[in-house]
Every structure is written in C-alpha cells, then in structure tokens.
Amino acid sequence: MQSQIQPHDLDKAKSIINSIDLLYSQKVVGQNQMKETLLCGLLAGGHILIESVPGLAKTTAASALAHSISGSFKRIQCTPDLMPNDIVGTQIYNFNTSQLTTQLGPVHANIVLLDEINRSSAKTQSAMLEAMQERQTTIGGKDYKLPEPFMVLATQNPIEEEGTYILPEAQLDRFLLKAIIDYPNKEQETEVLSRVVSGVQNQQISGSPISLEGIVFLIKLTRKVYISQNIYNYIINIVDATRPKLNQESSLSLKVRVGASPRGSIAFAVCSQALALLRGRDYVIPEDIQDLKYSVLRHRLVRTFDALADQISPESIIDDIFKEIAVP
C-alpha cells in the first residue's frame, strides 16, 4: 500500500482536527455522531440532511462549526412563503444611478443552515439545487460563485407533517449524508443545564479559529487518503445489493422499490476517506464503510408500500444487506 500523504502532513491534519474539536465542544455537549457527520461532509465537500425533533442543538452545532473554522454562517428559516430570491439573491434598481445592483442572498456563505427545509415549497427547494450541485447561483443571467468551502446543512422535523412539502427522492439523493440525531444521555443533559444556568453557553468561543486555508488543506488531503481495490469492490457490492433486480423476486424486492444510485457509491468512497483522516489514518478500512452505512444509504432507499405499511425501517434493511456482503 503506497500512501500519498506525507507523515508531517498527517500530523498537521491531526492538529487541525483536534483544534476544531476543542472549539466545537465549547458549544455542543456530546452529539459525537453529529460532529463526525458534519466534519465528514465538510471534508468530503458534500451536504448533509439532519433529521431530529426540535431542541437537539442542530443550529448550535452548525454555528459552532462555522465559528471553529473562521467561516461565514447563515441560517435560513424555511417557511411556505419563502421565495427563491430570498435564498439566492436578487437585483435591486438604484434610482440614483439608474442601474440594477445585485444583492446576494444568504446562501453565499461557507456554512448554510436550511432550518426545516420541508416547510418551504417545491419551487424554493429547487432553487437550492443549483447552489448545492453547481456551487453557484444565477442572478439576472450572471453566475456568482459560492465561497470555498461551502456546505449546506438542511434540517427537517419528523414529527410534524402539517404544512410540509416532502422532499422528492431526486433531491434527497443530492445530500451526501443523512444524520438522525437522538436525545442526549442524562450526564450530557446535566452538563447542558449546568452550562446554561452558569451562563457559559452564552459566552463566545475562546481560542483562535482554524483559518479557511487550513480547512482547504484538509479537504485536499482527504482526496489523497488511500482506498484499496478491495474496498472499492466492497463498496460496489454493497450498493449493488440495494438494487432490486428486474424479473427476480427476492426479500429485498418486497421491501425496496428503488435502490441507491452511483451517488451512493461516491458517497461511501469520499466519506470513508474523510472519516479515515478524522481518525488519524491515511487509508480506508472496512470499518469506515460500516460506520457510514446508515448515513449514506438511509435516504437513498425508496421503500415499497408494503414495507412502509409494515413500518420496516431503512436501517433494518441496510443491516440485512450488510450481513450478506463479504467483508474484505
């Protein structure tokens, strides 16, 4: 195995990641899975869909990450009357100069939080697709590049359905990862209460944030993390196993109507590289793929009506698939 990463670069990456962790933990208690998912998305250059009930520090986590990396942060509260121009920007007529001036929207930031994305209309949701995929917006026929790094964190509330617009499968597939955040344990919640009552939670993050140049260094280094041919085969076998075969009845075809697209394979590859780097390695191991299985696949499996009626979760289907695939 030939690594493309020099030892001193790996040491530098570890130092940057530890610094981000220290800064981030000043605002967020526990939620290690969410922290790892956010950093994976950032280093892999993708976007993340976060699902949880209200009050589990989604906004706090996004803001803390942005402040940890010297990045700009914008929060967009999605509502049914939110228009595309409210997100990407618009042109305003200046009476003094008799010219149109462009006002960029809040999507022009390093980290953008779309709070309750499923409350915005389909037209507004589609306005984000160009920004997420092409890394640019178009205003008045002119393209405006988004800053680097750029990451969208979209949240949705699973317990409220009234006044929401379900995200179509094509748009879900654009998200690199989908994280489901659970409640903190008792010790973590006690720490949250202590910080809030003492006023610590409202204090500014102490310490120097990581420069954006440092984050770009990590992103470029992530691309050099080694993936063996055996790992590539493992990824392909997993993703292929999610796809029901035509004219072939199986237990999977009774549960899954549409499996993961090649975006699923890409997500496994780039996110496993990011996860390996976060864990101090310059190579990917099968455990990295296994730890990513839910966040990569849960939003890419379209379940059948029978599976939905029987309340079969995507996670249980994913577990069954992984049991059938040989580990390299």
The confidence score (pLDDT) of residue 294 equals 94
Axis crossing angle, helix 262-278 with helix 212-222, rounded to the nearest 10: 120
Arithmetic mean of pLDDT, 277-284: 94
Statement: residue 266 has pLDDT above 90: yes
Confidence category of residue 59, pLDDT binned at 50, 70, 90: confident
- Pair 226, 3: CB distance under 8 Å: yes
Angstrom distances, CA of residue 150 to CA of 7, 32, 110, 155, 212: 28, 22, 4, 17, 11
The amino acid occupying position 46 is G
Q: Name the architecture of domain 1-198+208-224.
A: 3-Layer(aba) Sandwich (3.40)
Reported as a pLDDT band with limits 50, 70 and 90, residue 247 is low
Q: What is the 3-state secondary structure (H, E, C) of the chain?
A: CCCCCCHHHHHHHHHHHHHHHHHHCCCCCCCHHHHHHHHHHHHHCCCEEEECCCCCCHHHHHHHHHHHCCCCEEEEECCCCCCHHHHHEEEEEECCCCEEEEEECCCCCCEEEEECHHHCCHHHHHHHHHHHHHCEEEECCEEEECCCCCEEEEEECCCCCCCCCCCCHHHHCCCCEEEECCCCCHHHHHHHHHHHHHCHHHCCCCCCCCCHHHHHHHHHHHCCCECCHHHHHHHHHHHHHCCCCCCCCCCCCCCEEECCCHHHHHHHHHHHHHHHHHCCCCECCHHHHHHCHHHHHCCCCEECHHHHHCCCCHHHHHHHHHHHCCCC
The predicted structure's pLDDT at residue 54: 78
Residue that has been written with the tokens 């379900």 in this structure: 166
Distance CA 116, CA 68 (A): 24
Q: Across all residues in the chain, what is the average pLDDT? A: 86
* Candidate ranges 26-30, 167-171, 261-265; pick with highest mean pLDDT: 261-265
Top pLDDT among 2 and 74 is at 74
Instruction: Provide mean pLDDT across the span 172-199.
Output: 87
Fold classified for 225-328? Helicase, Ruva Protein; domain 3 (1.10.8)
Q: What is the pLDDT of residue 164?
A: 65
Is there a contact between 307 and 251 (Cβ–Cβ < 8 Å)?
no
Best CA proximity match to 152, nearest among 259, 246, 76: 76
Better-predicted residue by pLDDT, 289 or 64: 289
pLDDT of residue 321: 92
CB-based contact 200:64 (threshold 8 Å)? no
Cα angle 212, 215, 216 (rounded to 5 degrees) comes to 90
Has residue 161 got a pLDDT over 70? no
Task: Give domain limits for the chain.
Answer: 1-198+208-224, 225-328
- Buried b or exposed e, range 228-263, using 16+ CB within 10 angstroms: eeebeebbeebbebbbbeeeeeeebbebbbebbbeb
